[in-house]
Amino acid sequence: MTLDLFDDPPRAAREAISAGAFVLPGFALPFAEELLPAVRALEERAPFRHMLTPGGFTMSVALTNCGALGWTSDRRGYRYSPTDPVTGEPWPAMPDSFTRLAREAASAAGFEGFAPDACLVNCYEPGARLSLHQDKDERDHGAPIVSVSLGMPAVFLFGGLARTDKTVRIPLRHGDVVVWGGQDRLRYHGVLPLKDQPHPAFGSVRVNLTFRKAG
């Protein structure tokens, strides 16, 4: 990664996916100069790792966390923990730039007062994917999910309340933010396998910041 961001041109302010789900094109671009060094500092303290699923499979997406709680996975199941299972130390604090971006994006999508206590940071390389799933391990389903895309483009899948429901494909570029909550909070979603389309600042990597109210 470098700090030469090559920002994309301005885009539309908000695009509705459904009643409670929105794409905010380019919303994170004004924050990019703060986000990149924050991600690198986080990686030094809590390195990205490929976790195991309860079924014993290794996730193709590498991940780490910051905030009061961090999402983890192993053969015992999915859960939130205040400590990093690798180091036994508390997860790094959530950077101010992360918190500010998450709150402003939630507000722009109509969800006022969002106070995230967890940020799952995913690192995708070419071929990595995220299968359809619900974000349901959080105690508070009344708060929205705020998902920030940085680096390589991706295709986001947004489905219904059942895994078999039809999905829509949403292209995401560097700086795009997706927010969903309310009646759409538990919709299934995922990411198609990433194509190798290097970004000028990130190279062949996509970083995704997913903010949640977990506790």
CATH label of the domain that carries residue 67: 2.60.120.590
The answer as to whether 117 is a domain residue is yes
Residue 133 bridge partners (DSSP): 189
The answer as to whether 10 is a domain residue is no
Looking at residue 140, what is its pLDDT?
Answer: 84
pLDDT at residue 8 above 90?
Answer: no
The answer as to whether 92 is a domain residue is yes
Q: At 188, which amino acid appears?
A: Y
Residue range of the domain that includes 103? 15-212
When pLDDT is cut at 50, 70 and 90, the band that residue 5 belongs to is very low
When pLDDT is cut at 50, 70 and 90, the band that residue 11 belongs to is low
Secondary structure element (H or E) that encloses residue 179, with its range: strand 177-180
Residue 14 phi/psi, 5-degree rounding, is -160, 135
The answer as to whether 197 is a domain residue is yes
- Buried b or exposed e, range 56-88, using 16+ CB within 10 angstroms: eeebebbbbbbbbbbbbbeeeeeebeeebeeee
Q: What angle do CA 197, 200, 202 make, to 5 degrees?
A: 80
The answer as to whether 2 is a domain residue is no
Poorest-confidence range of 9-18, 144-153, 172-181, 197-206?
Answer: 9-18
Note the pLDDT tens digit of each residue in 16-61: 999 999 999 999 999 999 998 999 999 999 999 999 999 999 999 9
Output helix, strand, coil percentages for the chain, rounded to the nearest 5: 15, 35, 50
- Kindly state the average pLDDT of the residues 139-160: 97
The answer as to whether 56 is a domain residue is yes
- Kindly state the average pLDDT of the residues 186-195: 98
- Indicate the number of domains in the chain: 1
The answer as to whether 19 is a domain residue is yes
Question: SS3 for 118?
Answer: strand
pLDDT at residue 7 above 90?
Answer: no
Looking at residue 22, what is its pLDDT?
Answer: 98
The pTM assigned to this predicted structure is 0.93
Question: SS3 for 176?
Answer: coil
The answer as to whether 195 is a domain residue is yes
Separation between Cα atoms, residue 128 and residue 152, nearest integer Å: 12
